[in-house]
Amino acid sequence: MAQIPPNYDESKVPDLILPDPFVSLKGNPILTREDWENFRRPEILRLFEENMYGQVPKDFDDISFSEVTKSQNPYSNTAILKEVDIKVSRKGKTHSMRLNVFIPKSGSVPFPVFLLINYKPADPSGKLVETDFWVVEELVKQGYATASFHAETVAPDDKDKFAEGVIGTLYPEQLDQKDGMRALSAWAWGAMRAMDYFEKESLIDAKRAVLVGHSRAGKAALWASANDTRWAVTIPNESGCGGAALSKRKFGETVQVINTSFPHWFNDNFKAFNGKEELLPMDQHMLVSLIAPRAVYFSSAREDRWADPKGEYLSMKLGSRVYSQIYGKTINFPLDFEELKEPVIQPFAGYHIREGEHDLTLEDWKSYMDFVEMNLGRKDK
Ligand code: GTR
């Protein structure tokens, strides 16, 4: 199929006909928490697994954590650095991923933690500084531990090599399945193994863990949290198509474009929706609904039209209805996208759009800390 140029014209966005999170596939209304959690939520999770992201296998035989000392600690005045090799074995094979963890030197233990899935490659010299992209200093100053892993240590971000990590080593049978694990599911799996470590580390409060990812890693963060309810707060930044943005708007990056440029991110079944977003049995607002009743925050950038900021806001606005309709909480997104100026920081669900381009910046992180403080509180306060 020939590639259609991206649409940036709001008047050309098709009329949105979105599946209703609160009506089951058989057409039954979903009104209670019981029906939601026991029936509809698993049904929606399976729709995403089958048609889009692929499986996230949960089984393995063994996991171990060992501290290695490889790098200098650039924040040694305020934080201790732990470099942790997480080794996971299944059926006689072992995969190892590296987690870099900074823990405040002072403050009350255990510390809430921010995990960043970092899709950028590791610095060949082993440098752990990421400036604005990973604001270790600011997070530590505010009383948070923070950790990150490079996505490539779980699955290389390369259409020819993506299986040369956890997929090929631990779960090779997934490669033969049309709904099998691909790169985004593998990165989500990596976040879960980091969570396994947090649960074992007494300086970290795994019950107050925040998962952050930018762009492709934001897609993985959302999918990780849909699969793993241990994350207290989920924050995908500018995650766009295949992340926060509604696919059926076909604004900016489309399913066909993403599947062509990055065929290794999503499962094989997703390719059937190239140019046919209207046939998807779900849309991304339903991914938001899978996070509830835990807290979720989306962020966009004004000039990042490729990621469809309006589509990101709309999916938050629509998907967060689960908090009121099923969980009886008050959620308010009274403004239209065009009227938004200030970050919406409130219990359970938040959003901001900042000026500027596609990036993860200190300004974004500051709003995340405000949202997290409101939703989780801090022990030392
Ligand atoms: C782009 C891709 C987006 C987004 C972005 C990124 O090339 O089209 O979906 O994931 O990369 O990860 O920075």
In the reported structure, the alpha carbon of residue 240 is separated from the centroid of ligand 1 by a whole-number distance in angstroms of: 8
Q: What is the mean pLDDT of residues 253-262?
A: 98
* Cβ–Cβ under 8 Å, residues 284 and 244: yes
For ligand 1, is residue 215 a contact (CB within 6 Å)? yes
**264 belongs to the catalytic site:** no
**Residue-range domain boundaries for the chain:** 15-60+105-376
**Which residues lie below 8 Å from residue 62, measured CB to CB, with a gap of 6+?**
87, 88, 89
What is the structure's pLDDT at 60? 98
In this model, does residue 380 exceed pLDDT 50? Answer: no
Topology adopted by domain 15-60+105-376: Rossmann fold (3.40.50)
Q: What is the mean pLDDT of residues 186-199?
A: 99
Taking the CA of residue 243 as reference, the ligand 1 atom at the shortest distance is: 9
Digit-coded pLDDT (tens) for 313-339? 999 999 999 999 999 999 999 999 999
Tell me the pLDDT of the chain averaged across its residues.
96
Choose one of 237, 253, 265 to mutate for the ligand 1 pocket test, by most ligand atoms within 8 angstroms of C-beta: 253
DSSP string covering 195-207, please?
Answer: HHHHHH-TTEEEE
Q: What is the mean pLDDT of residues 262-275?
A: 98
Check: pTM over 0.75? Answer yes or no: yes
In the reported structure, the alpha carbon of residue 258 is separated from the centroid of ligand 1 by a whole-number distance in angstroms of: 8
323-332: list long-range contacts, CB under 8 Å, 24+ apart.
323/292, 323/293, 323/348, 323/349, 325/22, 326/22, 326/30, 326/32, 326/33, 326/36, 326/292, 327/33, 327/292, 327/293, 329/293
In this model, does residue 365 exceed pLDDT 80? Answer: yes
What is the structure's pLDDT at 302? 98
What is the structure's pLDDT at 1? 56
**285 belongs to the catalytic site:** no
Digit-coded pLDDT (tens) for 332-347? 999 999 999 999 999 9
Instruction: Compute φ and ψ for 40, nearest 5 degrees.
Output: -70, -40
For ligand 1, is residue 258 a contact (CB within 6 Å)? yes
For ligand 1, is residue 238 a contact (CB within 6 Å)? no
For ligand 1, is residue 305 a contact (CB within 6 Å)? no
The separation between CA 153 and the C-alpha centre of its own chain, rounded to angstroms, equals 17
Banded model confidence at residue 378, pLDDT cuts 50, 70, 90: low
What is the structure's pLDDT at 70? 85
